[in-house]
Amino acid sequence: MPEKKKKIPGIRTRMAVILAVDEAKKFAHFETDLYALSGYTRDDNEVEIFCPAKYPIKLEDLAEALNIAKDKKMSAGDFLEKWYDGISGKVDGLRQSLLVPNAMGADELGKIPDLLLPVSDEEIFHWIVMELDEMDRQVSRDKTGWNIPLSDVLDMDAISELLKNAKLNRRRKPMNRKYPDAVKRSFIIKADDLVNKGAADDEVIALYRIYTDELADKGDITALKIRGYACYGGNPAYEGNWETAKESLSQVFELTRDPGCANSLGYIYFYGRVGGEPDYEKAFRYFTFGALNGIYESTYKLADLYAAGLGTWKSPETAKRLIEEIYYENLNRFSCGEYDGKFADVALRMGNICENGIGTVKDSEAAYFYYLQAKYAIKLRRKVSDQYGDNSVQKKIEDACRRTCSAVESAESDELKMLRPFPILQLLMGNHEVELRYEKLKDGRYKLSARRIRKEKNKENGKILLTFPEYDWCELVDEVVLYTGTVYKDTMPEERNMVCISDILRDPEDGETEFFTLWNSILGSIKTDFYTMIIPKPNA
């Protein structure tokens, strides 16, 4: 029997269990389980299990454990809690004691990179563990899945076939190996990234094409999607083929209602990729589905259709509202640190709306405001990510800026004058609080330094996007410095130089006094006729 150190009643302590080698071997074979060894459950997991002499778990042990679970018709939850938690590392000490192998081993017969196709015992072990990890995630996300039979959520037949062919596969060249569909599916998912990046060799490309076609012809959703997008733009394995792309993505959409596929099908019909003639009614249908499911590109094209009255009623105002809606949504995301998102594209679209007078009057000055934001956003995006098409997007933005910048009269001074402290008001938006530091200067004016206070339970960056077209300036900030004009009256507390505020309210009677408040309590006030902000040099 394993040696146990008992828990003390009423005191939360960790139980340590020491195993002999034969006991560790029995666990590896699933002849005993975590509960029998230590009373472990996921709800009561204060357990450590060690085997000082170590037992190196083998592929045969893993296969035996799965067979026992299958014979006992165990639920997925029971298998995870009674055995797999010991292998995955949820129980301290046991994974290390069993010397659970990492992915290793080279394939001497071919050039397929490790783990694209499992060959060695270590690679097969790793592949099966990855499948178990995915099953664990699915079951843990959905509590109803805990009691589902293990065989319903884990492809036991695929694992059996993989194990059955393991020895023969080690003697075969990659093109001749026998793998179950689950392994082929895993391979094409990983290979797809390599192929599209141009990082796959000829053998990987050939197998990728063979397995993708084989699975797609069986109606496999993953393979259909991969083939559809490979043919949509072309890659080293597939030439561009709009007909195949349409057929494959249509099958995926019918089976899954995938909004990304709807968006791609919308583009195929919008530009008449198949047959040479656009089908705007079908494009409208697919773009509507994509837009309603959060695909921004679908919203762009839906706006284009409404603006021109293609496939639907003509309504430029609707087009404008669609773009405005996603503009504010993406502005918030961008302000919160999502620099690799779609804000650059959406700001460009807002500029197009203003420049071309779609649902509004033409306004090149307003257009330049949005183009300047797009220019800043694409610059940040390219710093943090390398996205397909960004060269083209950046060129469109730069061209748009050149077209419209002359509509804005350049400022003669680096001091921006304003009637109210608008940048501080912007920092307060979204129910934020602001730390306001104030310093009375020798000439009687005030220097106001404002910094947004992050919300405790909010991981947002808490920044605002300040845009001043007359200075060719746009930047994300979470603090600003303003100066008042002549101060006619103030009630700022003299005993300190900082207050925390939640709002700034203007006196409706004199129209010049600003009350600095914290949740309706007035902390101080300043009466002045204007505020200034010194604008840095334009962004490079």
In a domain, 203, yes or no: no
CA-CA distance, 540 to 384, in Å (whole number)?
A: 17
Residues 53, 146 within the same domain: yes
Is the predicted pLDDT of residue 112 greater than 50, yes or no? no
Q: What is the mean pLDDT of residues 398-422?
A: 94
The domain containing residue 155 runs over which residues?
A: 1-179
> What pLDDT score does 12 carry?
39
Bridge partners (DSSP) listed for residue 449: 437, 481
In the numeric block, which tokens belong to residue 263? 């968006």
> What pLDDT score does 502 carry?
95
In a domain, 522, yes or no: yes
Q: What is the mean pLDDT of residues 345-358?
A: 97
Residues 470, 332 within the same domain: no
The pLDDT tens digits of the residues spanning 258-268 come to 999 999 999 99
In a domain, 150, yes or no: yes
Count of other CB atoms within 10 angstroms of residue 447: 13
E-only strand ranges, 444-497: 446-453, 464-468, 473-477, 479-484, 487-490
Q: What is the mean pLDDT of residues 209-222?
A: 98
In a domain, 484, yes or no: yes
**Structural contact between residues 247 and 231, judged by C-beta atoms closer than 8 angstroms:** no
Last residue of some domain: 372, 407, 442?
A: 407
Q: What is the mean pLDDT of residues 498-515?
A: 94
The pLDDT tens digits of the residues spanning 260-304 come to 999 999 999 999 999 999 999 999 999 999 999 999 999 999 999
> What pLDDT score does 461 carry?
56
- Which of 28-42, 78-92, 144-158, 366-380 is modeled with the greatest confidence? 366-380
Q: Where are the alpha helices (DSSP H) in 172-295?
A: 181-196, 202-217, 221-233, 242-256, 259-270, 280-292
> What pLDDT score does 283 carry?
98
Last residue of some domain: 360, 391, 407?
A: 407
Percent of the chain past pLDDT 70, that is, above it, reads 93
Last residue of some domain: 360, 388, 407?
A: 407
Residues 419, 329 within the same domain: no
Element (H, E) at 388: none
The pLDDT tens digits of the residues spanning 12-61 come to 345 788 999 999 999 999 999 999 998 888 887 788 998 899 999 999 99
In a domain, 306, yes or no: no
Residues 32, 114 within the same domain: yes
Residues 376, 516 within the same domain: no
The pLDDT tens digits of the residues spanning 90-103 come to 888 888 888 887 64
Q: What is the DSSP string of 281-342?
A: HHHHHHHHHHHHTT-HHHHHHHHHHHHHTSSS---HHHHHHHHHHHHHHHHHHHHTT-TTSS
Task: Mean pLDDT check: name the lowest of 121-130, 309-318, 483-492.
Answer: 121-130
In a domain, 238, yes or no: no
**Structural contact between residues 44 and 13, judged by C-beta atoms closer than 8 angstroms:** no
Residues 139, 97 within the same domain: yes
Residues 498, 357 within the same domain: no
Task: Mean pLDDT check: name the lowest of 65-69, 140-144, 408-412.
Answer: 140-144
Sign of CA dihedral 342, 345, 351, 353: negative
CA-CA distance, 388 to 105, in Å (whole number)?
A: 34
Residues 6, 127 within the same domain: yes
In a domain, 487, yes or no: yes
Residues 54, 98 within the same domain: yes
pLDDT band at 115 (very low <50, low <70, confident <90, very high): low
Rounded (5°) CA angle 393-265-389: 15
Q: What is the mean pLDDT of residues 201-215?
A: 96
CA-CA distance, 492 to 515, in Å (whole number)?
A: 10
**Structural contact between residues 170 and 118, judged by C-beta atoms closer than 8 angstroms:** no
CA-CA distance, 401 to 393, in Å (whole number)?
A: 12
- Using alpha carbons, list the distances in angstroms from residue 221 to 193, 248, 397: 17, 9, 37
Q: What is the pTM of this model?
A: 0.81
> What pLDDT score does 106 carry?
38
CA-CA distance, 373 to 473, in Å (whole number)?
A: 9
Residues 48, 149 within the same domain: yes
Residues 29, 173 within the same domain: yes
More confident residue, 515 or 50: 515
> Which amino acid would we find at residue 441?
L
Is the predicted pLDDT of residue 105 greater than 50, yes or no? no
Is the predicted pLDDT of residue 538 greater than 90, yes or no? no
Is the predicted pLDDT of residue 109 greater than 50, yes or no? no
Mean pLDDT (the chain, rounded) = 90
> Which amino acid would we find at residue 481?
V
Is the predicted pLDDT of residue 342 greater than 50, yes or no? yes
Query: What total of structural domains would you count in the chain?
Result: 3
Bridge partners (DSSP) listed for residue 116: none
Q: What is the DSSP string of 56-122?
A: ---HHHHHHHHHHHHHTT-BHHHHIIIIIHHHHTSSBTHHHHTTPPPS----TT--PPTTTS--SHH
Residues 29, 137 within the same domain: yes
pLDDT band at 459 (very low <50, low <70, confident <90, very high): low
In a domain, 287, yes or no: no
The pLDDT tens digits of the residues spanning 189-202 come to 999 999 999 999 99
N-to-C CA span, the chain: 72
> What pLDDT score does 526 carry?
96
